[in-house]
Amino acid sequence: MGRRSVRLVAGSQVIYVTGLAVCLAIRPRYLVSANEGGVSNFGVHAVTVVPYSVGFLVSAGLLVAAARAAVPRGAREARFAASLRALAWILVVVLASTYDYQATAWLRDLHLAIAIAASVVQGLIALWVVARVRRGAGDVVALAALLAALVLAGCALAGWLHVLLAAQLVGTVAFGVLLVRAAAGLARGVELRAIRA
C-alpha cells in the first residue's frame, strides 16, 4: 500500500460524498421526507441522476485503481486491496439496481436486498479495519458512528423512524473516514518496514 493508493482511496470517498452532497443540495426535502427511499431517491429523478451516478461510478473506478496500485506486501494489505475491489463492485451493483427500483415491488425488494447486503459488507470491513489495521480513537469514533447509522437505517426500514437518508449520509462519511485512515495506516506501516529493512 503506497501513497498513491491512499490518494486514490481518499479521492474515491471525496467524489462519492460530493456526488451525494450535490444531490442533497438539489433535493434537500428528502432529508426530512417520510419516503424511505434514502439515497436511492437520487437515482430515479432526472435532476439528480447524473451527480448520483457520477459519484458512484467515479468512486468505484478510483477504488479499483487504488487496489491495483496497492502492491500488497503482507496479508493485511492484500485483504485491504480485496476489500477495495469488493466495495467497487458493490457500488456498481447498488447503482445498477437503483434506476428502476420503484417500477415494481420485485425490483424494489431486489434493490433493498442488495443495499442491505452492501451495508453488511461495509460493516464487516469496518470491524476488520478497527480490529486488524487501526485502533486509534478516531477509528473507534468513526466505527461507532457507522454502527449507529446502520442501526438507525434498520429502524427506518422497519418503519419506526424516518431517518434513512440522514443515517445513510452519516454512515457514508464514517465509513469513508475509516477507509482513508486504514489506507494511510497501511501505507505508513509499509514505509516503516522498508526503512527498517
| pLDDT of residue 162 exceeding 90 | no
Closest CA relative to residue 52, chosen from 65, 39, 63, 61: 39
Q: Are 48 and 25 in contact (CB under 8 A)?
A: no
What SS3 state is found at 28?
helix
pLDDT value of position 111: 94
End-to-end CA distance of the chain: 16
- pLDDT, one tens digit per residue, over 92-128 is 999 999 999 999 999 999 999 999 999 999 999 999 9
- pLDDT, one tens digit per residue, over 66-84 is 999 987 778 889 999 999 9
Helix, strand, coil percentages for the chain (3-state, nearest 5): 80, 0, 20
Q: How confident is the model at residue 36 (pLDDT cuts 50, 70, 90)?
A: low
C-alpha cell at 145: 458512528
Q: How confident is the model at residue 153 (pLDDT cuts 50, 70, 90)?
A: very high
- pLDDT, one tens digit per residue, over 166-185 is 999 999 999 999 999 999 98
Locus of grid cell 420503484 = 102
What SS3 state is found at 160?
coil
Model pTM score: 0.90
